[in-house]
Amino acid sequence: MKGRTTYTMIKPDAVSAGNSGAIIKMIEEAGFNIVAIKKTRLNQEVAGKFYAVHRGRPFYQDLCNYMSSGPIVAMILTKDNAVDDFRTLIGATNPSDAAAGTIRQLFATSIEANAIHGSDSDENALIEAGFFFSELERY
Ligand code: CMP
């Protein structure tokens, strides 16, 4: 059975544009429960570790620079089929490919500044949540 937990962060472009509230409203209206939420800022080292799977790819350094350029809003969300349903809600990585009405289609400005992150597997959701929230904060 698919898991009930996913991890997301609203990225610096969307936070600085004042779109956090509108994005959180869409997340709640889609039936996700916010079980933990935190506004914080990544430094280069944490951004590099979070995106370590992309190390070696041409966009990796720019991605780390961008993700540490301003505050983010980190959240743990729960819902049946959380990972897949959340990726449907946010849309394709590149906003020019994102379906109408998805968060990235509405708020992202480029493939890098794409407004929001969503975990790609149940396993990664738990790993990523652990980056930002202690055991006690997760409920
Ligand atoms: P995210 O879903 O957070 O996962 C990796 C991030 O790398 C992605 O969103 C984008 O913000 C960023 N990125 C930048 N360029 C690319 C690219 N060419 N392909 C995939 N991801 C990219």
Q: pLDDT tens across 24-61, in order?
A: 999 999 999 999 999 999 999 999 999 999 999 999 99
Q: Where are the domains of the chain?
A: 5-41+71-138
Distance 92 CA to ligand 1 centre (A): 10
Atom number, ligand 1, closest to the C-alpha of residue 113:
11
Which atom of ligand 1 lies closest to the CA of 51?
5
How far is the C-alpha of 76 from the C-alpha of 33, rounded, in Å?
Answer: 8
Name the closest-CA residue to atom 4, ligand 1: 117
Give the residue numbers marked as catalytic.
Answer: 117
Report whether residue 59 contacts ligand 1, using a CB cutoff of 6 Å. Answer: yes
pLDDT confidence of 138, banded at 50, 70, 90? confident
Reduced to 3 DSSP states, what percent helix, strand and coil does the chain have, rounded to the nearest 5?
Answer: 45, 15, 35
Task: Give CATH for domain 5-41+71-138.
Answer: 3.30.70.141
Regarding the beta carbon of 114 and ligand 1, being less than 6 Å apart is answered: yes
Can you tell me whether residue 91 is helix, strand or coil? coil
Cβ pair 114, 22 in contact under 8 A: no
Q: 1: pLDDT confidence band, cut at 50, 70 and 90?
A: low
Helix (H, G, I), strand (E, B) or coil at 31: coil
Measured distance CA(139)–CA(128) in Å, rounded: 15
Q: Which pLDDT tens digit goes with each residue over 61-74?
A: 999 999 999 999 99
* pTM assigned to the model: 0.95
Give CA–CA dist 46/64, Å, rounded.
9
